[in-house]
Amino acid sequence: MRAYKTVSSSVVILLVTVLFIGVATVPAAAQYDAMQYRYNAAHTGDYSPVAGSNMSNGQLTWSFTTGSVVLSSPAVANGVVYVGSEDNNVYALNATTGANVWTFTTGSEVYSSPAVANGVVYVGSDDNNTYALNATTGANVWTFTTGSAVLSSPAVANGVVYVGSDDNNTYALNATTGANVWNYTTRAAVLSSPAVSNGVVYVGSDDNNTYALNANNGSKLWNYTTGSAVLSSPAVANGTVYVGSQDNNTYALNATTGAKLWNYTTGDGVYSSPAVANGTVYVGSEDNNVYALNATTGAKLWNYTTGSSVYSSPAVANGTVYVGSDDSNVYALNATTGKVTWSFTTGDEVSSSPAVANGTVYVGSFDSYVYAIGNAAAATSQSATPGFEVTLVFVGLVFVGLVIAAYVVRRKS
């Protein structure tokens, strides 16, 4: 009996160990605590590091209705989606279920896209304020008031929040206290969202210029003048600044000097902010097209024509370009060929820019909804496969344990 009990205990311990290993090896969603407009402070729009291996296939995971138009672009951090709405609110939604975690009400519309860093959500509002909110509770940490609406989306780098305002200024604010570190005044409104890279802030203005400002003190390093307002937000990659203009062009500028490297002319204004990944620039235009351009030369690689203007800024993840169109659709395009992988139809225009995280595309629409477009089939398959593998190991070890038990009992007898 002692031998039998001993072996039984060993088998139990072994099985518990196997179960623990099985649970530990089931893939979990990647965790990250920071995300900004266009993914990072440089606004590259390349979400590949957090996109996950299971690509979205265009299936609706959930939708959440706000009280009005959603132009704001979502940011996803620690399993929560943060997004603004024209109903004056900033929402925190469970990234898996869409359940409302908290809501913060500002004094006016929220077109600005949130930035999340170090447990704080930074976002602008048409009530002239930039807010810092506790990412877990939504409590107001601080508020900074400018002279006009804040449609620009904040960028956070090295403990400083950079944001533009319709009062013609770009502001640098202490991320902890909201104190004004510096501000730089242009000749018109700053709707463009600042990008930050290597100690330099790059931002467009309605005065037709793109500016490069010292991130520490706000002094102007250079400016490049286009033929019309620069509403697009710059993207910075490999020493080059990519930005669109209402003069119908996308520009590539030397990040150090501001010298023009190339420009590509579309059929209408470029409100969309470029995304840069793997040597290619992706950008939308009011001429209904999404363009893929060689990042070094500006040569067109392909274009995809949607049914209406493309104000949405493309997001890139693992070989796929995600972008919204005013034809009410969100498109997934092959990054190499431009061919449609899938499209998802919302109830109205999609000017919000997609964010991608853990196999899901998050985006807002004029129909007042925030959508999570994922891959339900893949998720089911992923969760089922490890379980099946664990079951096989479990059964196999049970069999081995019984054989050992029988052998020991036989030896003792």
With a cut of 70, say whether residue 336 has pLDDT above it: yes
Mean pLDDT over 269-298 rounds to 98
Residue 335, pLDDT > 60, answer yes
Binning pLDDT at 50, 70 and 90, where does residue 30 land?
Answer: low
Separation between Cα atoms, residue 38 and residue 274, nearest integer Å? 9
pLDDT at 33: 78
Q: What is the DSSP letter of 46?
A: B
Q: What is the mean pLDDT of residues 42-51?
A: 96
Backbone angles phi, psi at 81, to 5 degrees: -100, 125
pLDDT at residue 375, as a whole number: 83
pLDDT per position as a tens digit, 47-65: 999 999 889 999 999 999 9
Going by pLDDT thresholds of 50, 70 and 90, the confidence category of residue 280 is very high
Confidence (pLDDT) at 76 = 97
Instruction: Read off the pLDDT of each residue in 298-321 and give the average, rounded to a whole number.
Output: 98
CA-based R_g, the chain, Å: 25
Region 365-391: what's the mean pLDDT?
Answer: 62
Render pLDDT for 181-239 as a digit per residue (tens, 0 to 9): 999 999 999 999 999 999 999 999 999 999 999 999 999 999 999 999 999 999 999 99
**Does 353 score more than 70 pLDDT?**
yes
**369 contact partners, CB below 8 Å, separation of at least 6:** 63, 64, 65, 66, 70, 346, 347
Angle at Cα 313 formed by Cα 251 and Cα 79, nearest 5°?
135
Between CA 343 and CA 362 the distance in angstroms is 14
DSSP secondary structure, 345-372, as one string: E-SS---SPPEEETTEEEEE-TTSEEEE
In 215-248, the DSSP E strands lie at 220-225, 235-237, 240-244
32-46, 87-101, 153-167: which range is least confident on average?
Answer: 32-46
The pTM is what? 0.85
Name the maximum alpha-carbon separation found in the chain. 97
pLDDT at 15 over 60: no
* pLDDT computed for residue 406 by the predictor: 45
Pick 156 or 382 by higher pLDDT: 156
Per-residue pLDDT reduced to its tens digit, 214-230: 999 999 999 999 999 99
Count other C-beta atoms under 10 Å from residue 348's C-beta: 14
What is the rounded average pLDDT of the residues 388-396? 36
Of the CA atoms within 13 Å of residue 348, those in its CB half-sphere come to: 13
Residue 385 pLDDT > 60: no
The dihedral built from the CA positions of residue 206, 209, 215 and 216, taken in this order, carries a sign that is: negative
Q: How far apart are CA 6 and CA 281, in angstroms?
A: 66
- Above 90 in pLDDT, residue 285? yes
Nearest one of 62, 156, 74 to 117, comparing CA atoms: 156
The pair of three-digit structure tokens given for residue 182, joined into one six-digit string: 């510096």
d(CA 217, CA 150): 21
What pLDDT, on a 0 to 100 scale, did the predictor assign at position 330?
98
Percent of the chain with pLDDT over 90: 82
- Asked if residue 358 has pLDDT above 50, the reply is yes
Are the C-beta atoms of 48 and 318 separated by less than 8 Å? yes
- 150 phi, psi to nearest 5 deg: -115, 95
Burial of residue 92 (number of CB atoms within 10 Å: 0-12, 13-18, 19+): buried
E-strand ranges in 11-77 read 59-65, 75-77
